[in-house]
Amino acid sequence: MFLKSKTFIAFSLALLSFSQHAFSLQFGNPVDSDKLIKVSTVMASPDDYLASPITVEGTITGVCEKRGCWMTLASDKRFENLRIKVEDGDMVFPMTAKGSKAIVTGKLDKIQLSLGRTKALLAHKAQQAGESFDANSVTEAMAIYQLVPSGVEIIE
């Protein structure tokens, strides 16, 4: 009886120890930690990072609810984030990943918007934030940036 209870305690401690360690989900190729750059550094001068693959990390703040085709990473700078976008079905990010840390290697893409699309995007963001928006105050088109990943590691 004593031997069985010792075995049970040892097994329980091993199980508890295992459950405290994080595990990760891998998508695509392995991430390249040697190319790790802060999201805030990338967003400060994004055009400097268009030519070569980069690696960023951050907390996942949003995931596409329909197809899992994008997720948003929080920057190390407050109120800044970077969208991670794949073709539908290439990688499917789980909704349960929200709040987890992600490390992503990929290519930064620049999407130049027209003035009309810029106004529509800013109007949508203002509506989501419950703020008023004057479309006439926008006089220049803007560009948005997103990272197209070749590899993603989600650490839960």
In a domain, 52, yes or no: yes
Give me the mean pLDDT over the 59-75 stretch.
92
pLDDT of 95 above 50: yes
- DSSP line for 18-82: HHHS--EEEEESPP-GGGB--HHHHHHSGGGGSSS-EEEEEEEEEE-TTT--EEEEE-SSTT-EE
Is residue 8 one of the residues assigned to a domain?
A: no
In a domain, 16, yes or no: no
- Position with higher pLDDT, 126 vs 5: 126
Query: Is 133 in a helix, a strand, or coil?
Result: coil
Query: Residue 55, class by beta-carbon neighbours within 10 Å (0-12 exposed, 13-18 middle, 19+ buried)?
Result: buried
Residue 14: pLDDT band (50, 70, 90) is very low
Chain Cα centroid distance, residue 86: 11
The answer, yes or no, to whether residue 11 has pLDDT greater than 80, is no
Instruction: Express each pLDDT in 36-57 by its tens digit.
Output: 999 999 999 999 999 999 999 9
Residue 11 located in a structural domain: no
CATH at 90: 2.40.50.140
- Answer whether residue 54 is part of any domain: yes
Answer with the residue of higher pLDDT: 3 or 22: 22
Q: How many domains does the chain have?
A: 1
- CA 49, CA 40: separation in Å to the nearest integer? 12
5 lies in some domain = no
Q: Tell me, what's the pLDDT at 22? A: 64
- Does residue 111 fall inside a structural domain? yes
A 10 A CB-CB count for 76 gives: 13
4-13, 62-71, 112-121, 132-141: segment of lowest average pLDDT: 4-13
**Whole-prediction pTM value?**
0.77
* Mean pLDDT value across residues 4-9: 45
Residue 105 included in any domain: yes
Please give the residue range of the domain that contains residue 38: 24-129+138-155
Give the pLDDT of residue 5: 47
